Amino acid sequence: MEGLSSDPRRWRDVDKLLSRPGNIVGQDFEPSPTLREDIGDVVRVLVVGAGGLGCELLKDLALSGFKNIDVIDMDTIEVSNLNRQFLFRIHDVGKSKAEVAAERVMKRINGVNITPHFCRIEDKDLSFYNDFNIIVLGLDSIEARSYINSIACGFLEYDEDDRPLLETIKPIVDGGTEGFKGHARVILPGRTPCFECNIWLFPPQVKFPLCTLAETPRTAAHCIEYAHLIKWGEVHHGKSFDADDPEHMQWVYLEALKRAELFGITGVTFSLTQGVVKNIIPAIASTNAIVSAACALEALKIVSGCSKTLSNYLTYNGLDGTHIKVTDFVRDIDCLVCGPGTLLELDTSTTLSQFIGLLGEHPKLLVSKASVTYRGKNLYMQSPPILEEMTRSNLQIPIFHLMDKVPKDTLHISGISEKNDKKASCLRKLRVVFKGVADEALKMDTTESS
C-alpha cells in the first residue's frame, strides 16, 4: 500500500475534472491536462488541527493533488485517539500529532511534502500565515476558529469605495464534527460571511448552577464540574487550571470520584472528565470522513476554479439516515473582523498610549492588552518583552506622527477580547480618521485639480 500515488491511474478522475470545461465552472477556470501538477507545484495549504478531522484532511488533500502542505497542532497522541484518528498507532502515544500524521501521509503518498508544526497557533506570527494560499480548518474549538478567522481577515484590504481587493483575500475552508453531525463551509473574507459573522450558529456552552454543584449534585458531570470549578480553587489558591496538563486533569478526576462516592453517584471516568472539562463531544470516524471529503473538494474548487464553490454553509446529519443541506448565509457588512474596519476619529494630539486606552473603552471593540501594527510595522507590542522594550518609546508619541496621515488609514490591533465572561485572543482592524485632516486633504486635492 506504500507509494499509493505512483500509479498514474490514481489521478485519472482528478485530471478529468481539471482538464475539461463545464457548465458550473468558475469564471476564471482554464482547463488543462497539467493543471493538477501546476496546483501541486504552486499552491501552499495550511491544515490547522491533526486530530480526527485533521488526519482525514491531510489524506484527502494529498490525494487531491496538493503537494505542499503544512499542518499545525499542539497536542500529543493519546490512547483514546486511536479509534478514529487512523494515522496513529499504539506506539505513537505521547508523540506529536502533527509530526506523526505528516510522516504517515508522506510515506503512503509519493510526491507530497508535509511540514509539521508542533506548537500553538498563537506561537506563529502573521508572516507565517500569509505564506499560504488557502487555510483548511480541522478544529474542535470555537476560540481557535475565531483566532484563525481573524488572522485571515487581517490580510484583507479594501479600496477607497470599501470594496475588497481580490488579491488580498485569504480563503478558509472550515470543517467541524460533533458525533453524527458535521459542517463544511467556505469563507472568502470580504465576499462571504466570516466566522464572526455567523458566531451565533454555535450554541452557548452548557453551564451548571454553582449551587447545584456545591450542594445537590445529581450526575457524574456535576461531580466533575465541582472538582474543576470549586475544589481546584479552594485547594490550589489562585493557581490556574490547565486543561492540557495531564496532572491537572488527573487531580480533577480523582476529586470527582471522591465527590461521586460521597453522594452515591456512578459514571465518573477519566474520559468523561476530559469530555466535561474540555467540552468534548464524542467523534465518529464516518462523520470525519464525510466532512473532510467536502472540505477537500471545496479547497480544490477554490484554487482551480473547476466548479463554483459552496454557497456557503453545508450541514450533515447522519443520525437518522443521511441528510445534507446547504444554506447561503448573508455576510454582516458591519462585522468587526472581515469588514473594512471600525471607523475611529482621533485628535492629532492623541498619543499611542491614549489610543490603546480608548480601545478598552470602545463599546464595539473592548480590546485589552492591545498591540498595534501599521502597514507591517510594529508601533507597540505587548510581548515578547524584547519587542515591548523596543516599541515602548512610541507610547508617548502622537499616533498622527506614526502614520502616513492618509484619510481612513488602517491599523491592525491584536489583544484580548471578552465575550460571555470568556477571554480570548483577537485581531481587529480599525480605520483611523484625524479631525480636520480629511478636510484639509480634500481642499488640497481640489486646489491641485483646478
**Quick check: bond before 312 cis, omega within 30?**
yes
Q: Is 239 helix (H, G, I), strand (E, B) or coil?
A: coil
Place of cell 459514571: 267
Selected catalytic residue, list 55, 153, 197, 211 = 211
The conformational region for residue 237 under phi > 0 = left, psi -120 to 50 = alpha, else beta, is left
Distance from chain centroid for Cα 352: 29
Contact by Cβ (8 Å): 230, 258: no
Q: Please tell me the distance from the alpha carbon of residue 450 to that of residue 448, in angstroms, as a whole number.
A: 5
Kindly give the pairing relationship between strand 113-117 and strand 422-434. Answer: unpaired
Is residue 211 part of the annotated active site? The answer reads yes
Burial class (CB in 10 A: 0-12, 13-18, 19+), 225: buried
Question: What's the residue count for the chain?
Answer: 450
Contact by Cβ (8 Å): 78, 313: no
Please state the φ and ψ torsions of residue 78, each to the nearest 5 degrees.
-115, 160
Contact by Cβ (8 Å): 211, 226: no
Q: Which three cell numbers stand for residue 127?
A: 508572516
Which residue, 95, 194, 205, 186, is CA-closest to 140? 205
DSSP string, 279-290: T---B-HHHHHH
Question: Which residues does the annotation mark as catalytic?
Answer: 211
